[in-house]
Each structure stands twice: as structure tokens, then as C-alpha cells.
């Protein structure tokens, strides 16, 4: 486990980490809210993002979550790619403003 993962787990975050990338999320009531997500460039397009997402959703469900959400800042160079991934994973846009897009789905 990385120092990053240890730090955020200690603070109560849900962390999924592999050699290909990681996802961290905050659990608040029945909501699992992704706050950090990264897949190494050489593993993008290989299903690694889906695997991290599915593992995170499983852990969230195990903790009683019924909703999975994430936000993408429009300043992110990968904004369009990330939003398309969210849609591919079945997430819908629930908020969209000049700074960010928030997506969500029931789990």
C-alpha cells in the first residue's frame, strides 16, 4: 500500500489501489463520492478504469452506499475523456456549471 493510500485510509476514505492506478472515495451516508482517480497512461483504454470503478463500487455497497458520484473539473486536460468514461459506466450528469460536471448513478 502506498503512503497516499495509508494517509487517506487513516482519514476514513475508501481506497482501491493497483499497479495500474488508484481510486479514492469519501463515504457520506449512502453516497460514495470519488475524490481522486488515476490510471497510468500506458494502461488507459485497457479496462483498468472499469476494474478500479467496479472494485470501488463493491466496497461502497459493502458499506451501505446506494449512490456513486464523481466530479470532473473542466480545467482538467482529460475532461472530455473522463466524462465519456463516466457515461460509459452508466453515470448521468446531475450538475453542470462553468467549472465542473458532476455525474452519478445508483448502485
Residue 61 phi/psi, 5-degree rounding, is -60, -40
Rounded to an integer, the average pLDDT of 81-104 is 94
pLDDT value of position 4 = 84
- Model pTM? 0.86
Give a three-class secondary structure readout of 51-65: HHHHHHHHHHHHCCC
| Sign, Cα dihedral of 38, 63, 88, 51 | positive
Task: Give the mean pLDDT of 62-75.
Answer: 96
Q: How confident is the model at residue 5 (pLDDT cuts 50, 70, 90)?
A: confident
Amino acid at each position: 500500500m502506498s503512503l497516499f493510500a495509508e494517509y487517506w485510509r487513516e482519514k476514513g476514505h475508501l481506497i482501491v489501489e493497483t499497479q495500474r492506478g488508484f481510486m479514492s472515495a469519501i463515504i457520506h451516508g449512502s453516497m460514495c463520492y470519488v475524490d481522486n482517480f488515476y490510471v497510468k497512461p500506458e494502461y488507459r483504454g485497457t479496462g483498468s478504469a472499469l476494474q478500479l470503478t467496479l472494485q470501488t463500487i463493491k466496497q461502497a455497497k459493502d458499506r451501505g452506499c446506494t449512490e456513486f458520484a464523481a466530479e470532473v473539473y473542466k480545467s482538467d486536460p482529460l475532461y472530455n475523456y473522463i466524462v465519456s468514461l463516466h457515461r460509459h459506466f452508466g453515470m448521468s450528469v446531475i450538475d453542470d456549471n462553468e467549472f465542473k460536471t458532476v455525474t452519478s448513478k445508483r448502485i
